Chains A and B, each alone.
Chain A
Amino acid sequence: SQELEQSPQSLIVQEGKNLTINCTSSKTLYGLYWYKQKYGEGLIFLMMLQKGGEEKSHEKITAKLDEKKQQSSLHITASQPSHAGIYLCGADYTGGFKTIFGAGTRLFVKA
Protein backbone atom coordinates (compact mmCIF):
# COMPACT_ATOMS: atom_id res chain seq x y z
CA SER A 1 0.00 0.00 0.00
CA GLN A 2 1.28 3.47 -0.83
CA GLU A 3 -0.28 4.73 2.38
CA LEU A 4 2.25 2.72 4.33
CA GLU A 5 5.91 2.46 3.43
CA GLN A 6 8.38 0.11 5.04
CA SER A 7 12.14 0.39 4.82
CA PRO A 8 14.41 -1.24 4.08
CA GLN A 9 12.86 -3.89 1.84
CA SER A 10 15.49 -6.36 2.96
CA LEU A 11 18.29 -6.44 5.46
CA ILE A 12 21.24 -8.75 6.03
CA VAL A 13 22.99 -8.41 9.37
CA GLN A 14 25.68 -10.28 11.21
CA GLU A 15 24.55 -12.09 14.33
CA GLY A 16 24.94 -9.85 17.35
CA LYS A 17 24.41 -6.61 15.46
CA ASN A 18 21.59 -4.15 16.11
CA LEU A 19 19.13 -3.16 13.41
CA THR A 20 16.17 -0.86 12.82
CA ILE A 21 13.16 -1.23 10.53
CA ASN A 22 10.97 1.76 9.73
CA CYS A 23 7.30 2.15 8.89
CA THR A 24 5.98 5.49 7.61
CA SER A 25 2.35 6.43 7.07
CA SER A 26 1.04 9.19 4.83
CA LYS A 27 -1.82 9.75 7.28
CA THR A 28 -2.15 9.92 11.05
CA LEU A 29 -2.54 6.48 12.56
CA TYR A 30 -5.18 5.35 14.98
CA GLY A 31 -2.95 2.40 15.86
CA LEU A 32 0.07 0.56 14.54
CA TYR A 33 0.78 -3.18 14.72
CA TRP A 34 4.03 -5.04 14.24
CA TYR A 35 3.97 -8.66 13.09
CA LYS A 36 6.65 -11.20 12.27
CA GLN A 37 6.22 -13.85 9.58
CA LYS A 38 8.51 -16.83 9.28
CA TYR A 39 8.91 -18.06 5.74
CA GLY A 40 5.95 -20.22 4.74
CA GLU A 41 4.03 -19.54 7.92
CA GLY A 42 1.40 -17.20 9.31
CA LEU A 43 1.85 -13.80 10.93
CA ILE A 44 2.76 -13.64 14.59
CA PHE A 45 1.63 -10.54 16.47
CA LEU A 46 4.49 -8.72 18.21
CA MET A 47 3.30 -5.36 19.51
CA MET A 48 0.61 -2.71 19.20
CA LEU A 49 1.20 1.02 19.57
CA GLN A 50 -1.59 3.57 19.89
CA LYS A 51 -0.34 6.64 21.71
CA GLY A 52 2.01 9.26 20.27
CA GLY A 53 5.49 8.75 21.71
CA GLU A 54 4.64 5.26 22.93
CA GLU A 55 7.41 2.70 23.23
CA LYS A 56 7.09 -1.01 23.95
CA SER A 57 9.65 -3.75 24.38
CA HIS A 58 9.54 -7.52 24.30
CA GLU A 59 12.76 -9.39 24.89
CA LYS A 60 15.25 -7.79 22.50
CA ILE A 61 12.69 -6.05 20.30
CA THR A 62 11.61 -2.45 20.89
CA ALA A 63 8.94 -0.61 18.91
CA LYS A 64 8.26 3.12 19.00
CA LEU A 65 5.55 5.38 17.59
CA ASP A 66 6.41 9.03 16.98
CA GLU A 67 4.49 11.91 18.54
CA LYS A 68 2.68 12.72 15.29
CA LYS A 69 1.57 9.07 15.00
CA GLN A 70 2.81 8.75 11.44
CA GLN A 71 6.06 6.89 11.87
CA SER A 72 7.11 3.78 13.76
CA SER A 73 10.38 1.97 14.16
CA LEU A 74 11.23 -1.56 15.23
CA HIS A 75 14.64 -2.03 16.78
CA ILE A 76 16.30 -5.37 17.43
CA THR A 77 19.25 -5.47 19.78
CA ALA A 78 21.96 -8.10 19.43
CA SER A 79 20.24 -9.95 16.58
CA GLN A 80 20.09 -13.74 16.54
CA PRO A 81 19.30 -16.24 13.79
CA SER A 82 15.88 -16.71 15.42
CA HIS A 83 15.04 -13.11 14.53
CA ALA A 84 15.17 -13.90 10.81
CA GLY A 85 11.91 -13.54 8.93
CA ILE A 86 9.62 -10.95 7.44
CA TYR A 87 8.54 -8.03 9.62
CA LEU A 88 5.30 -6.30 8.66
CA CYS A 89 3.72 -3.18 10.05
CA GLY A 90 -0.03 -2.86 9.94
CA ALA A 91 -1.89 0.44 10.12
CA ASP A 92 -5.27 1.04 11.66
CA TYR A 93 -6.71 4.34 10.46
CA THR A 94 -10.30 4.00 11.58
CA GLY A 95 -10.28 2.47 15.02
CA GLY A 96 -10.84 -1.09 13.98
CA PHE A 97 -11.54 -3.72 11.36
CA LYS A 98 -9.42 -2.58 8.40
CA THR A 99 -5.70 -3.07 8.89
CA ILE A 100 -3.53 -1.98 5.96
CA PHE A 101 -0.16 -3.73 5.79
CA GLY A 102 3.18 -2.53 4.55
CA ALA A 103 5.15 -4.56 2.02
CA GLY A 104 7.34 -6.06 4.74
CA THR A 105 11.05 -6.11 5.53
CA ARG A 106 12.91 -9.37 4.96
CA LEU A 107 15.54 -9.86 7.65
CA PHE A 108 18.41 -12.30 7.27
CA VAL A 109 20.77 -12.89 10.17
CA LYS A 110 24.18 -14.41 9.38
CA ALA A 111 25.55 -16.70 12.03
Chain B
Amino acid sequence: DAGVIQSPRHEVTEMGQEVTLRCKPISGHNSLFWYRQTMMRGLELLIYFNNNVPIDDSGMPEDRFSAKMPNASFSTLKIQPSEPRDSAVYFCASNHWGNGPAFFGQGTRLTVV
Protein backbone atom coordinates (compact mmCIF):
# COMPACT_ATOMS: atom_id res chain seq x y z
CA ASP B 1 0.00 0.00 0.00
CA ALA B 2 1.18 3.47 -0.80
CA GLY B 3 1.79 5.66 2.20
CA VAL B 4 1.19 9.38 2.48
CA ILE B 5 2.72 11.06 -0.55
CA GLN B 6 4.04 14.60 -0.41
CA SER B 7 5.45 16.80 -3.12
CA PRO B 8 7.83 18.35 -3.69
CA ARG B 9 10.43 16.78 -1.37
CA HIS B 10 12.53 19.94 -1.47
CA GLU B 11 11.60 23.51 -2.32
CA VAL B 12 13.84 26.53 -2.43
CA THR B 13 12.15 29.84 -3.07
CA GLU B 14 12.81 33.52 -2.72
CA MET B 15 11.21 35.64 -0.06
CA GLY B 16 7.87 37.00 -1.22
CA GLN B 17 7.09 34.15 -3.55
CA GLU B 18 4.08 31.88 -3.24
CA VAL B 19 4.75 28.29 -2.20
CA THR B 20 2.33 25.38 -2.53
CA LEU B 21 2.93 22.06 -0.83
CA ARG B 22 0.91 19.01 -1.82
CA CYS B 23 -0.26 15.89 -0.04
CA LYS B 24 -2.07 12.69 -0.97
CA PRO B 25 -3.27 10.84 2.15
CA ILE B 26 -3.49 7.09 2.52
CA SER B 27 -6.51 5.77 0.64
CA GLY B 28 -9.43 5.27 3.01
CA HIS B 29 -8.15 7.70 5.64
CA ASN B 30 -10.57 10.55 6.26
CA SER B 31 -8.46 12.66 8.65
CA LEU B 32 -5.53 14.68 7.38
CA PHE B 33 -2.99 16.69 9.34
CA TRP B 34 -0.38 19.29 8.39
CA TYR B 35 2.63 19.62 10.72
CA ARG B 36 5.70 21.83 10.67
CA GLN B 37 9.04 20.77 12.16
CA THR B 38 11.85 23.13 13.14
CA MET B 39 14.82 22.80 15.44
CA MET B 40 13.53 25.57 17.67
CA ARG B 41 9.89 24.56 18.00
CA GLY B 42 9.89 20.86 17.22
CA LEU B 43 6.86 19.30 15.55
CA GLU B 44 3.81 21.57 15.55
CA LEU B 45 0.30 20.81 14.34
CA LEU B 46 -0.83 23.50 11.90
CA ILE B 47 -4.27 22.33 10.81
CA TYR B 48 -6.32 19.19 10.46
CA PHE B 49 -9.23 18.11 8.31
CA ASN B 50 -11.91 15.51 8.82
CA ASN B 51 -13.91 14.38 5.78
CA ASN B 52 -12.29 17.22 3.79
CA VAL B 53 -13.54 19.87 6.24
CA PRO B 54 -11.03 21.97 8.22
CA ILE B 55 -11.72 21.28 11.88
CA ASP B 56 -9.02 23.19 13.73
CA ASP B 57 -6.64 25.70 12.17
CA SER B 58 -5.51 27.27 15.44
CA GLY B 59 -1.95 26.17 14.76
CA MET B 60 -1.66 28.11 11.50
CA PRO B 61 0.90 30.80 12.30
CA GLU B 62 -0.39 33.67 10.19
CA ASP B 63 -2.86 34.64 7.51
CA ARG B 64 -0.10 34.02 4.99
CA PHE B 65 -0.75 30.33 5.52
CA SER B 66 -3.80 28.61 4.04
CA ALA B 67 -4.78 24.98 3.52
CA LYS B 68 -7.39 23.30 1.41
CA MET B 69 -8.69 19.81 0.89
CA PRO B 70 -10.83 19.79 -2.26
CA ASN B 71 -11.35 16.03 -2.15
CA ALA B 72 -10.52 12.97 -0.07
CA SER B 73 -7.29 12.28 -1.89
CA PHE B 74 -5.62 15.68 -2.09
CA SER B 75 -4.66 18.58 0.13
CA THR B 76 -2.53 21.69 -0.30
CA LEU B 77 -0.75 24.00 2.10
CA LYS B 78 -0.02 27.41 0.63
CA ILE B 79 2.22 30.17 1.94
CA GLN B 80 1.81 33.56 0.31
CA PRO B 81 4.02 35.54 0.59
CA SER B 82 6.78 33.32 1.93
CA GLU B 83 9.35 34.59 4.45
CA PRO B 84 12.72 33.18 5.56
CA ARG B 85 11.26 32.22 8.95
CA ASP B 86 8.91 29.83 7.17
CA SER B 87 11.90 27.61 6.38
CA ALA B 88 11.15 24.24 7.93
CA VAL B 89 10.14 20.69 7.10
CA TYR B 90 6.41 20.41 6.49
CA PHE B 91 4.77 17.04 7.07
CA CYS B 92 1.40 15.72 6.06
CA ALA B 93 -0.14 12.80 7.98
CA SER B 94 -3.40 10.89 7.85
CA ASN B 95 -5.47 8.40 9.81
CA HIS B 96 -9.04 7.19 10.15
CA TRP B 97 -11.41 9.47 12.09
CA GLY B 98 -8.49 10.94 14.06
CA ASN B 99 -8.14 7.68 15.95
CA GLY B 100 -4.91 5.89 16.58
CA PRO B 101 -1.55 6.89 15.22
CA ALA B 102 -1.21 9.24 12.29
CA PHE B 103 0.91 8.01 9.39
CA PHE B 104 3.35 10.55 8.05
CA GLY B 105 4.66 11.41 4.62
CA GLN B 106 8.34 11.97 3.88
CA GLY B 107 7.96 15.71 4.30
CA THR B 108 8.77 18.76 2.20
CA ARG B 109 11.89 20.65 3.17
CA LEU B 110 11.20 24.32 2.47
CA THR B 111 13.96 26.88 2.30
CA VAL B 112 13.04 30.53 1.82
CA VAL B 113 16.00 32.74 0.92
B42, B50, B101, B106: the one within 8 Å of A42 (CB)? B106
What DSSP secondary structure best describes chain B's contact surface?
strand
Interface residue? B34 (CB, 8 A)? no
Q: Which residues of A contact B102 (CB under 8 A)?
A: 45, 99
Q: Which residues of B contact A44 (CB under 8 A)?
A: 104
Q: Which residues of A contact B43 (CB under 8 A)?
A: 88, 101, 104
B61-69, B71-79, B91-99 - the one binding chain A: B91-99
Interface code A85-111, partner B: CB below 8 Å = 1, 0 otherwise?
000101000011111111110000000
Cα distance A67–B86 when bound, in Å?
40
Are A97 and B48 touching (Cβ within 8 A)?
yes
On chain B, the number of residues with a Cβ less than 8 Å from chain A's Cβ atoms is 24
Are A96 and B99 touching (Cβ within 8 A)?
yes
Are A43 and B100 touching (Cβ within 8 A)?
no
Question: Given A97-B50, A102-B42: A42 and B91 within 8 A (CB)?
Answer: yes
Are A103 and B42 touching (Cβ within 8 A)?
yes
Cα distance A102–B56 when bound, in Å?
20
Are B101 and A96 touching (Cβ within 8 A)?
no
- In the complex, how many angstroms separate the beta carbon of A94 from the nearest chain B beta carbon? 9
Q: Which residues of B contact A100 (CB under 8 A)?
A: 45
- In the complex, how many angstroms separate the beta carbon of B50 from the nearest chain A beta carbon? 7
Are B98 and A97 touching (Cβ within 8 A)?
yes
Chain A interface residues toward B at CB < 8 A = 1, 33, 35, 40-45, 48, 88, 90, 95-104
Q: What are some 16 contacts across the A-B interface (CB < 8 A)?
A: A1-B42, A40-B109, A41-B106, A42-B107, A43-B93, A43-B104, A45-B102, A45-B103, A45-B104, A90-B101, A97-B31, A97-B55, A99-B33, A99-B45, A99-B102, A103-B42
